[in-house]
Chains A and B, each alone.
Chain A
Amino acid sequence: MYLTREPIDGGPFLAAGPDFSAGASVLFLGIIRRSSEGKEVAYLEYEAYEPMAERLLGRLVLAAFDKWKLEDVQLVHRLGRLELGEIAVAIRVAARHRGPAYDASRSLIEAIKKEVPIWKKEYFTDGTGAWSLCGRAPEGKHAGI
């Protein structure tokens, strides 16, 4: 399960693996920021097409293991209401060396932002709210509207 409605604690992501095979561990945390496009954010809500999102996240993790010969991947994305400063997504990638760990970390977060069906609605301090619609749709042969 890669999706959770519980607050994400970054601490457990720092633990070393049991067999000490990884020499590099990269932790990415996506954090709820105060400002968005000039407006002040009060809080956010995330929703997902959960079965599809879970499956796509699992596929991305497997593909990353394979491509970068990783030792470990932990990934979790939050759903529901999030306050400023809370962790929306945590990705920890462990590899024998730092190169593949950095590359896989960056690739995973970019893929999530591009293709996984998760959406955020920003609620602002002025009482308005808006779904973020600036995300890119996946390219290629898929059916657009």
Chain B
Amino acid sequence: MTVKIRLFAYLKEAVGEAEIILPVARAAKVEEVRDLLKQKFAGILPVLEKSLIAVNGEYAPHDRLLFPGDEVAVIPPVSGG
């Protein structure tokens, strides 16, 4: 299956896309997406390593399983307020 990954702020600009699609196994864990992102975007590893992953708008644990239709988002360090 594929998973849609939303990117924001610094990550969106660095990658040049607001959204990317990555192929993953059905019921892949969040940590597998994390590993794919680290490989694919090794050039921005320092910021990726300070980022969190959200699934369907909630911060997700490493072992969260992913299913078709889930929306994954990479959340770089926040700076609101």
Binding site for B on A (CB under 8 A): 30, 46-49, 51-53, 55, 77, 88-89, 109, 112-121, 131-138, 141-145
Cβ contact within 8 Å between A113 and B78: yes
| B residues less than 8 Å from A52 (CB atoms) | 54, 57-58, 73
Contact for A143 among B9, B52, B81, CB less than 8 A: B52
Q: Evaluate contact between B9 and A119: CB separation under 8 angstroms.
A: yes
Chain B residue with Cβ nearest A48: B80
Contacting pair A131 B79 (CB below 8 A): yes
A132→B79 contact, CB < 8 A:
yes
Complex-state Cα separation, A52 to B54, whole angstroms: 9
Contact of B57 among A55, A88, A119, A141 (CB under 8 A): A55
**Residues in chain B near residue A51, CB distance under 8 A:** 57
User: How many B residues face the partner with a CB closer than 8 A?
Assistant: 34
Asked if B79 and A47 make an inter-chain contact with CB atoms under 8 angstroms apart, the answer reads no
Q: How far is the CA of A33 from the CA of B1 in the complex (A)?
A: 46
Min Cβ gap B55→A in Å is 9
Q: Is B20 located at the chain interface by the 8 A CB criterion? A: no
Q: Give the CA-CA distance A144 to B79 in the complex, in Å.
A: 17
B75 at the interface (CB under 8 A from A): yes
A116 to B72, CA, bound (A): 16
A-B pairs with the 4 shortest C-beta distances?
Answer: A118-B80, A119-B9, A132-B79, A131-B10
B24 CB-CB contact with A under 8 Å:
no
B62 within 8 A of A: yes
Whether A145 contacts B77 by the Cβ 8 Å rule is no
A117 close to B10 (CB less than 8 A): no
Among candidates A109, A119, A137, A141, residue contacting B50 with C-beta atoms closer than 8 Å? A137
Taking CB as reference atom, which chain B residue is nearest A88?
A: B81
